[in-house]
Structure 1
Amino acid sequence: MKAVLFEKFQQAPKVVTLDDPTPAPHGVVLKVEATGVCRSDWHAWMGHDGDIDLPHVPGHELAGVVAAIGKDVTRWKVGDRVTVPFICGCGSCSECHAGQQQVCLNQEQPGFTHWGSFAEYVGLHQADLNLVALPETMDFATAASLGCRFATAFRAVVDQGRVSAGQWVAVHGCGGVGLSAVMIAAAVGANVIAVDLDEAKLALARQLGAVAAVNGAEADVVGAIRDITRGGAHVSLDALGHPVTMTNSILGLRPRGKHIQVGLMLGDHAAPAVPMPKIVGQEIELLGSHGMQAHRYGAMLDMVASGKLDPSRLVGERISLEQAPEALMAMDRFQSVGATVITRF
């Protein structure tokens, strides 16, 4: 198979030919039809994730067709159209037994703990637990965004933030996760404020349901949010993962508000200072949000089917596998409007 491979961290990846994967007894092999290029993949390439063994094939936002199944798989057959959460549960630990596969104690992640989906084929584990069937009407490029950005945003807004109609929700960072969060929060009736440095992304956020937009390059973000909301947001998400956006998110909350940390902070940003006087004095809640378990996809897909959510609007540039190395290396310098998706292999 053709695949994107890097042999050293921060060294340019190459498109090479590798052996096709074979399914584990509990797993499947997917023919990859689409896979997103995500900032988490950039973190992996930079060496910020300690679980990665070299050489490595990145990629964790994927959708495709089952090409082979392991002998113990019962729920899937060759030809099924599927996607998968970027966190795959083991099915045996206490968190999996509680239905919380997104924090599985033995979790595996394609593109991190094993080779990922920047390839023609990818092996996935514990298929009966982790795979999600795709609606026939959903194209693969749209489906590829579900496993990471869109599902992550859904859990952050709905399950962790428990956002309700009429609340003020601030979203800091309008990349793939942030724009997804804007759409989802607006769909459940919240008043959404989008924050970014890029006017094009802010314009798209307004089209997706944001009632206000703040350009962090031109305005006092915290002051602007306080003015718009008359006292602060009820819920605020750092969808980028940076000490500045995290701090602005916390400081822009009203008393007893919720901060949801969605964006990863790794490398030099792994242990940021937090505004503790605000957190203690105003009883601010700090919550992490890390993907979403497969069994929760039904609620999200029902909202897609009903027309309340339209993740296809978040698909940006469609590129080839040969273009993926440059797109990956550029992730920290530039993110296009909408998700960049590899659709040609």
Structure 2
Amino acid sequence: MKVARFYAPGDLRVEDADEPAPGPDEIKIRVHNTSTCGTDLKIFRHGHHHIDPPRVIGHEIAGEVVEAGSDVSGWVPGDRVQVIAAIPCGECRQCRRGFPTICPNQLSMGYHFDGGFAEYMIVPHRVLRVDGVNRIPDGVSYAEASVAEPLACVLNGQTFARVGDGDVVVVVGAGPIGCLHVRLARARGASAVYLVELNRRRLDMAAGLVKPDAAICGAEVDPVAAILELTGGDGADVVITAAAAGKAQEDALKMTARRGRISFFGGLPKDNPIIACDSNLVHYRELTIYGANGSSPEHNRQALELISTGKVRVDDLITHHLPLPEVLRAIDIVSSGEAIKVTIEPGATGAA
């Protein structure tokens, strides 16, 4: 079979590998779709401290069960499944408290275990024991199901920040995560959703799909002034920074309404994680700042339900479908910003 293995920064190889066999407590799936993520680009460029190369990467996974180990129950060949990316231990204090997204023992598909850029892969017992394999609902394609994982992360962030009925929401960043934030905020009852992005081309492409109430190009206007004008000077109830930029987080403090909430959804580069925080804005306006880190198995199940019921549409966000041998082209497309979402189809032979 073919796999895409990461060896070192800049060295991602499509190569032949033996088809894996599941252990007694594992399942084997035929991968139908593994969608790409900005993290895949970061791994390709810089590596990752949790990856011990060579490693098959890819963590937004949907496929079909082809074999279940002798000790596995509940899964049979032909079952259509989506696999979580972040794997909590299920046993630590945070997991027992119901906070699996901050499990200190968390492992990840495509990092600690071989991921989905492969024709076949093994779902390890570590995933099965935390109920991290989900049935894909009828009517949901494998490609759509592969987007459940990033949607689950978005759901975690918005649930934590209490996005709900009547909120005015600002999403900063018009990549795939930003697009999902816009759509989920609408599904959760936001009265208005504004999208902010520096790159005019990316903004126009995203806005054409997700239709925010206003699309603001931060390279052309001051986004803080624009949001204050749109809100009559009040600011937004919720600001979500879906961009790895300190300036976005600093601006969020200035465009949030009194008693508003800020979700620092996009992490900052590890060599430059410090921002200038006007503490008086937080103090006098009684602002709340939330972090957002990954998703839980339950968030993944809920994301599939949101897709299945049509509350959050994702199919039109997948702008490119590529076969596994073109994974490097997929990385280039993600880097260029010309796509919203790129999905890899390991069994496919052509590109779209």
Give the TM-score normalised by the residue count of structure 1: 0.91
Distance, in Å, in 2 between the alignment partners of 1:282 and 1:74 is 53
CA gap of 1:315–1:330, structure 2 versus 1, over 3 A, is closer
1:305-316 equivalences under 5 Å are 305-316=308-319
Question: Do the aligned partners of 2:145 and 2:304 also contact (CA within 8 Å) in 1?
Answer: no
Change beyond 3 A, Cα 1:127–1:235: same
1:246 equivalenced with 2:231 (yes/no):
no
Paired AA for residue 142 in structure 1: E
The equivalent of 2:342 in structure 1 is 340
Q: How far apart are residue 330 of structure 1 and its match?
A: 5.3
Which is worse superposed, 262-271 or 335-344?
262-271
Query: What aligned pairs does 1:123-134 form with structure 2 within 5 A after superposition?
Result: 123-125=122-124, 126-128=127-129, 129-134=131-136
The match for 2:68 is 69
Aligned with 1:42: secondary structure?
A: helix
Aligned mates of 1:90, 1:23 — CA distance in 2: 21
Q: Please identify runs of 4+ aligned residues in structure 1 that moved more than 4 A.
A: none
Residue 4 of structure 1: aligned partner: 4
- Other-structure match for 2:350: none
* Aligned partners of 1:174 and 1:202 also within 8 Å: no
Matched-pair contact (CA < 8 Å) for 1:316–1:336: no
Structure 2 letter corresponding to 1:150:
L
Could you tell me how far apart the structure 1 residues matched to 2:100 and 2:181 are? 21
Q: Give the stretch that moved more between structures: 289-298 or 117-126.
A: 289-298
CA 1:17–1:310: 2 relative to 1, 3 Å: same
2:323 aligned with 1:325: no
Structure 2: which amino acid aligns with 1:181? H
Shift of 1:199: 4.2
Shift in Å, 1:185 = 0.4
Count of paired positions = 341
Letter of the structure 2 residue corresponding to residue 304 of structure 1: I
**Alignment gaps of 5+ in structure 2:** 348-352
Q: TM-score, normalised by structure 2?
A: 0.89
Any idea what the Cα deviations from partners look like across 1:254-311, whole Å, max 9, x if unmatched? 1222111222323433444444342334332121112222223444334333332212
Change in 2 beyond 3 A, CA 1:203/1:319? closer
Report if aligned partners of 1:199, 1:215 keep a CA contact under 8 Å in 2.
no
1:27–1:276 distance in 2 versus 1, CA, 3 Å: farther
Q: Could you tell me which residue of structure 1 aligns to residue 287 of structure 2?
A: 284
Alignment partner of 2:151: what SS?
Answer: helix
CA distance, structure 1, for counterparts of residue 52 and residue 11 of structure 2: 16
- Report the counterpart of residue 179 of structure 2 in structure 1: 179
Q: Give the residue type in structure 1 aligned to 2:7.
A: E
Instruction: Give yes or no for the alignment of 1:266 onto 2:269.
Output: yes
RMSD over equivalenced CA pairs, Å: 2.2
Instruction: Please say if residues 201 and 337 of structure 1, whose CA atoms lie closer than 8 Å, have aligned partners that are also in contact.
Output: no
Q: 1:237 aligns with which of 237, 240, 246?
A: 240
Helix, strand or coil: the match of 1:33?
strand
Which amino acid in 2 is paired with 1:163? V
> Whole-Å Cα distance in 2 between the matches of residues 275 and 337 of structure 1?
35
- The correspondence for 1:217, drawn from 197, 216, 219, is 219
8 Å contact kept, 2:94–2:102: yes
Alpha-carbon contact 2:155-2:299 (below 8 Å) kept: no
Q: In 2, Cα distance between the equivalents of 1:227 and 1:137?
A: 42
Q: Report 1:13-162 matches (<5 A).
A: 13-47=12-46, 49-125=48-124, 126-128=127-129, 129-147=131-149, 149-157=150-158, 159-162=159-162
**Per-residue deviation at 1:169?**
0.5
- Cα distance change, pair 271–71 in 1 and its aligned pair in 2 (3 A): farther
Instruction: In structure 1, give the amino acid aligned to 2:172.
Output: H
CA contact (8 A) 2:246 2:274 kept: no
